[in-house]
Amino acid sequence: MSRSDAQANRAKILVVAEEVFGAGGEGASTEEVARRAGVGIATVFRHYPTKAALLEAVLTERFTRLAGRAKAEAGAQDPGRAFFDFFAYMVADSASKIAIAEALAEAGGALDGPAAVASRELHDTVGVLLAQAQAAGAVRTDVDLPEVYALLIGASRAAYAGVGPEVRDRSLKIIFDGLATRP
């Protein structure tokens, strides 16, 4: 059993790290995380032995949360709406999370460990949403998961740039029009 103050610190570090890496990308420093969490540097490294481990913990947390949200949508009564809603949600959510978008971009390749598992889970759940939306006639049946996922990644990364919410939404609308079945 670990001490309760240690558990609290561990949790706080995770939360702060998500903010810090979200704002500054992978380049943000561990000291910044420690400072903003109100702990010493050593405490961060005690809980997460390397910077990579900390980043992995952040990503795992985030992928898992997104996958959970996607799964919840997967039960919806309107699969078309569910698909497009989740797409828009994830893009908007990534707007302040560079690290996530960066990691997503890498995810095809090099990730390993728990984060890779969580990433795959997210990927697969988006696949389910897509299949359901296609079955319901809301999304063209001649598009496949790889290109849809690529669009999702691209829109997420673009969303981080100086692009405001209005432009982001208009961009999404164009993508959605490209994905939707023709009336």
Partner DNA sequence: GTATTTTCGGAGTGACCACTCCGTTTCGAG
Partner DNA sequence: CTCGAAACGGAGTGGTCACTCCGAAAATAC
Distance from C-alpha of 105 to C-alpha of 109, rounded to nearest angstrom? 8
Tokens 């828009």, located at residue: 88
The partner residues of 180 in beta bridges, in order of sequence, read: 139
CA-nearest of 95, 156, 167, 158 to 122 is 156
- 92 near a copy of itself (CB under 8 A): no
Binding mask 22-41 for DNA (x = CB under 7 A): ------xxxx------xxxx
Candidates 32, 85, 106, 121; binder of a copy of itself (CB under 8 A) is 106
Q: Which is closer to a copy of itself, CB of 68 or CB of 165?
A: 165
Distance from C-alpha of 60 to C-alpha of 57, rounded to nearest angstrom? 5
CB of 61 to DNA, least distance (A): 18
Distance from C-alpha of 69 to C-alpha of 85, rounded to nearest angstrom? 11
Candidates 19, 25, 36, 51; binder of DNA (CB under 7 A) is 51
Q: Report what 144 binds from DNA, a copy of itself, none; CB cut-off 5-8 Å by kind.
A: a copy of itself
CA-nearest of 168, 116, 123 to 144 is 123
Distance from C-alpha of 95 to C-alpha of 83, rounded to nearest angstrom? 19
Q: Report what 30 binds from DNA, a copy of itself, none; CB cut-off 5-8 Å by kind.
A: DNA
Tell me the site size for a copy of itself, rule CB under 8 A.
36
- 165 near DNA (CB under 7 A): no
- 68 near DNA (CB under 7 A): no
- 97 near a copy of itself (CB under 8 A): no
Distance from C-alpha of 43 to C-alpha of 99, rounded to nearest angstrom? 22
Q: Report what 50 binds from DNA, a copy of itself, none; CB cut-off 5-8 Å by kind.
A: DNA
Q: Report what 176 binds from a copy of itself, DNA, none; CB cut-off 5-8 Å by kind.
A: a copy of itself
Q: Which is closer to DNA, CB of 39 or CB of 95?
A: 39
Q: Which residues bind DNA (CB under 7 A)?
A: 2-6, 9, 28-31, 38-43, 45-47, 49-52
